[in-house]
Amino acid sequence: MNGETNLGDLLRTMRPARQPGTYVFCSVASLEGFDVADTVGLFREAEGITVILPQATADRLQLPYSYVAAWLTLTVHSSLAAVGLTAAVAQALANASISCNVVAAYYHDHIFVAATDADAALRVLQQVAATAS
């Protein structure tokens, strides 16, 4: 199953949902001794490996972080080849002065916003879905 590519359909049916808990982005030099099952996501960069973790896991592992986020999932199955979904979501949130970090996975797009902005971000995204043509 390849997912939806039509932007209008994606926006109308995205149904943002908040995942429970709070999440943080940390950078580690190596995954040695690290249980990858503890991660929500990871990405290798030249400077280190970015791991997205539940905040409680980062605290338990004594990993430093500076950003505490809520995790919102756009529950529509979006294609990795879809054009415009990330831009539309990011623009709507930017218009509401809400920063976002987007992770596109195989089935869904995931939006990380400051935990304090979670409710407002959900309202913005629900409004985008309600008014999409």
Give domain status of residue 2, yes or no. no
CATH of the domain at 40: 3.30.2130.10
Give domain status of residue 52, yes or no. yes
Nearest of 23, 31, 11, 22 to residue 75 by alpha carbon = 11
- When divided into structural domains, the chain yields a total of 1
pLDDT in tens, 44-86: 999 999 999 999 999 999 999 999 999 999 999 999 999 999 9
> Computed over its alpha carbons, how large is the radius of gyration of the chain?
15
pTM for the predicted model, two decimal places: 0.94
- Pair 112, 103: CB distance under 8 Å: yes
Q: Which domain holds residue 102?
A: 7-131
pLDDT in tens, 23-49: 999 999 999 888 999 999 999 999 999
Give domain status of residue 60, yes or no. yes
pLDDT for position 2: 83
